[in-house]
Structure 1
Amino acid sequence: MVTNTNAFRDYLQLEKKYSPHTVNAYLNDLFSFQKFIELHFDQDDIIKVNYSQIRSWIVSLVDGGLSNVSVNRKISSLKAFYKFLLKIKQIEISPLLKHKALKTPKSLQIPFSEKEVGNVLSVTQNPSGLDEIRNRLIIDLFYTTGMRRAELIFLKKSGVDLVNGTIKVVGKRNKERLLPMLSVIQGQVSDYIKEREGIEVIVDVDSFFLTKKGLKLSNSFVYRLINSYFSTVSEKVKKSPHILRHTFATHLLNNGADLNSVKELLGHSSLASTQIYTHNSLSELKKVHKEAHPRNK
């Protein structure tokens, strides 16, 4: 049995401010490791394990077909647990002290082009009814604010301020930030609010975005929505809310926005996180440079 489970849960929720989904994932990884140790080493206390035993678990995960990315995520859960045990002085050295993450291929995040986004917006013009108006607004909010999928799903009705043209979202580690709302979006928001008021029974009353049954949207619903609309105009492998967020940042940078401003809009804690988007902006600069420089004429 994993000891200190409740204390570890509180640590993740209250101190690290992780989402319920992340907390559950960490605890599930912990219990999975516990079962492995009990089965293969006849040991019921993972506080006393050594790195060799953890290494055996890693090998079993890889042999079982799990990707290096997924394995690294599971090890991150263990790292967090042993870091917590260090913090409460239950151990003196983490068994993962010298562990190096498994190598993973760099995933190229290719944003949608302005034409592809324009085509989707063209297809969704003049929406009618709750579903169409909501879906169009979701696409536009991702593209015009760069908010994360979780931020959109957990957006509160009280967080949408039409008077001041702002949207308050809660990002990672419960950090709040205000996002500007374009005037063209304000009209769409007003239309959606009217449709939302027509829902007969609202279960999740605080949530801004709802289904016809008055329920908060799910992660899979929002993913399928974006994937479905963009599949009609793009052959890119990845067509997700995150790619649309990536597109937001890339298009801003391509059109002259400074990196610090994009950082604030995205809710990044450091410029390092935002700089991954600059390669697309650099491509645009290279194109302009090549076409405009006299040495190339």
Structure 2
Amino acid sequence: MPEELPDGAAEVVAEFARHLAAERNLSRHTVRAYTGDLASLLAHAGVAGPENLDELDIHVLRGWLGRLQATGKARTTLARRGAAARTFTAWAHRRGLLASDPGLLLGTPKAHRTLPPVLRQDEAAELLQVAMVAADDGTPAGARDRAILELLYACGIRVGELVGLDVDDLDFDRNIVRVIGKGDKERSVPFGQPAAAAVKAWLAVRPTLVRNGSGPALFLGARGGRLDQRAVRRLVHQRLADVPGAPDLGPHGLRHSAATHLLEGGADLRSVQELLGHASLGTTQIYTHVSTERLRKVYQQAHPRA
């Protein structure tokens, strides 16, 4: 926890964390971020325990965000911390810890929606060709790495979802993978024949890395444990370095690229939302902006009257 709090305030933060995890079913990352924000707020307000939470009025909330803004915090950070404060005050009001909910009056700057960098379709194809060549080294790691890149691009899944896959999550009869996403929400995502072939090639050599405790994990590290996210990130950066002119992206960049290419190919927004596991269609709409921006750049380069 980033702030040093008295015992009473620390108990409030811990109870709020349990609410976020157990009742809201938020990810560990979100719970950690929100509880850190709450600790910062309570320390700013000088709240020592539940008995003086009523000191959290709208003036304190605005003063806290104003202090953070003065220290140069980004708009995205301020937006998240404002959301954390509103979530807490609503919960505290329902619990009777606050007589009213001051968060209802709190406005925060909206985060700028920046266009994520993506690969062109030819760059994505070259990346997978690089992975195929690397897989010819005859090592289990080569086959595994090719399967990882094929699945990331074919399915547009998050890196955490990828490393969480088990062998039985793949249905090769229908070319569908069962994915557990944010909030433990399950969805089925299709993949194509190239990804199917790459994963089958990996499964054929996977037993050479299996050790006691490997369990059902689809992707294994050199010691037989479930592959971690850092290894996947290193892999993506390394392979993209071999693609001339390609931007330096991580696994999430492949997710952005998959979504953009689907829309460029004529997929409807709702289908892409379902494939990516976005709770809000507004989150998916950023990819329409990416496609429009790329079209604008092509137009400016190619049209004589641009």
Q: 1:133 & 1:267 partners in 2: Cα distance?
A: 27
Other-structure match for 1:245: 255
Unpaired stretches in structure 1, ≥5 consecutive residues: 291-295
Q: Secondary structure at the match of 1:260?
A: helix
Other-structure match for 2:162: 152
Q: CA RMSD in A?
A: 3.2
1:118 aligns with 2:128: no
1:28 aligns with 2:36: yes
Other-structure match for 1:142: 152
Other-structure match for 1:258: 268
Provide closer, same or farther for how the CA distance between residues 235 and 180 of structure 1 changes in structure 2, counting only shifts above 3 A: same
Whether contact under 8 Å (1:34, 1:44) holds in the other structure is no
Letter in 1 for 2:24: K
Letter in 2 for 1:107: T
Match among 6, 10, 16 for residue 8 of structure 1: 16
Q: TM-score, normalised by structure 1?
A: 0.83
Other-structure match for 2:4: none
Q: TM-score, normalised by structure 2?
A: 0.81
Whether contact under 8 Å (1:254, 1:281) holds in the other structure is yes
Other-structure match for 1:209: 219
Other-structure match for 2:53: 47
Letter in 2 for 1:142: L
Letter in 1 for 2:25: K
Cα deviation 1:144-196 (Å, max 9, x = unaligned): 11112221122223212233321100122222111113122222112222333
Q: 2:234 & 2:74 partners in 1: Cα distance?
A: 23
Q: Secondary structure at the match of 1:168?
A: strand
Q: Secondary structure at the match of 1:169?
A: strand
Aligned residues with identical type, % of pairs: 30
Unpaired stretches in structure 2, ≥5 consecutive residues: 1-7
Whether contact under 8 Å (1:72, 1:102) holds in the other structure is yes
Provide closer, same or farther for how the CA distance between residues 265 and 42 of structure 1 changes in structure 2, counting only shifts above 3 A: closer
Other-structure match for 2:177: 167
1:267 aligns with 2:277: yes
Q: CA deviation at 1:215?
A: 2.8
Provide closer, same or farther for how the CA distance between residues 175 and 47 of structure 1 changes in structure 2, counting only shifts above 3 A: same
Whether contact under 8 Å (1:8, 1:81) holds in the other structure is yes
Q: 1:220 & 1:157 partners in 2: Cα distance?
A: 20
Other-structure match for 2:234: 224
Letter in 2 for 1:16: R
Whether contact under 8 Å (2:119, 2:247) holds in the other structure is no
Other-structure match for 1:18: 26
Whether contact under 8 Å (2:171, 2:177) holds in the other structure is yes
Whether contact under 8 Å (2:82, 2:107) holds in the other structure is no
